[in-house]
Amino acid sequence: MEGAALRRKNELDLAAYTAWHTAVFALSGYAGKLKDLAEYLGLDDQPNPVALQHAKGIAFFHSLKAKGFDVKIEKNEIN
């Protein structure tokens, strides 16, 4: 069910993407009247950049460990 929902969201995003670009490039009467494409696609729900940076760091150290380097990975709780 999750896959079907994701596929449907992608179809709707593609429709919005196509409509937005059609209005911008073909219908110059709409120039300046449209919101940014990201607002129509719901791209404002991007992951937290700090959390993403932390995840990249963890992935880097896991890759070193997988290559045989002696790396100790711990999770420290911040109070």
HEC states along 12-76? HHHHHHHHHHHHHHCCHHHCCCCCCHHHHHCCCCCCCHHHHHHHHHHHHHHHHHHCCCCCCCCCC
The per-residue pLDDT for range 12-52, each reduced to its tens digit, is: 888 888 887 777 766 665 556 767 767 767 665 666 777 77
Residue 54: DSSP 8-state: H
Degrees, nearest 5: CA angle 66-70-71: 80
Query: What is the predicted pLDDT for the residue at 27?
Result: 63
Query: What is the predicted pLDDT for the residue at 20?
Result: 74
Query: What is the predicted pLDDT for the residue at 77?
Result: 73
Q: Which residue has the higher pLDDT, 41 or 68?
A: 68
Alpha carbon distance 33, 54 (integer Å) = 38
Query: What is the predicted pLDDT for the residue at 16?
Result: 87
